[in-house]
Amino acid sequence: METQRVGIIGEKYIDPNGVERYSGGRSVADCKAYNAAWYVKNRLQRNTKANEWYAANRPKRNLKAQEYARATVRRVRSILGEHCAWSDLGGCEGDLEVDHIVPPGLRRHTGYTSHGHALNCWIVNNPELAKLRLQSLCNEHNRFKSNRPNHEARALWRMKCSH
């Protein structure tokens, strides 16, 4: 009979009926079910050390997370540009925002989410694709563009500004 040592449970073997068992008499399926139930029942006890550390270091963790988010935004700005892509058209107001050149209704699945930290991470990890698919627009231009294609929105902005 071939055995395999498995921690404190005992040795694993195959009984004469072909069922895997541990030397303690439990089957492998019973042990797995027991372990799964124990993990659910004792979730807080299992994470006690981690929870204590997180509670004790919350301010430090928050500062680190904020620093990381700011650094990511700075890298995004360096990739997409520090100024509004439509600055040549005039009328720039407000903070810079990341804008999808192709609006959501017209684009295929692009591999990134539409906003927030996940989008910033995607831009940092895929700078060449980001330069093709995204642009920095000021708040005013981004709201005006809304869900229009880029070329159509630029033409409408020119018409608006010429009157």
Least confident of 104-108, 115-119, 158-162: 104-108
Instruction: Give the predicted TM-score (pTM) of the model.
Output: 0.59
Tokens of 138: 């000021």
Q: Is the pLDDT of residue 85 over 80?
A: yes
Give the separation between CA 97 and CA 89, rounded to whole angstroms: 17
Q: Is the pLDDT of residue 6 over 50?
A: no
Residue 108: C-alpha distances to residues 43, 73, 80, 112, 155 (Å): 41, 25, 21, 11, 24
Q: What is the pLDDT of residue 1?
A: 46
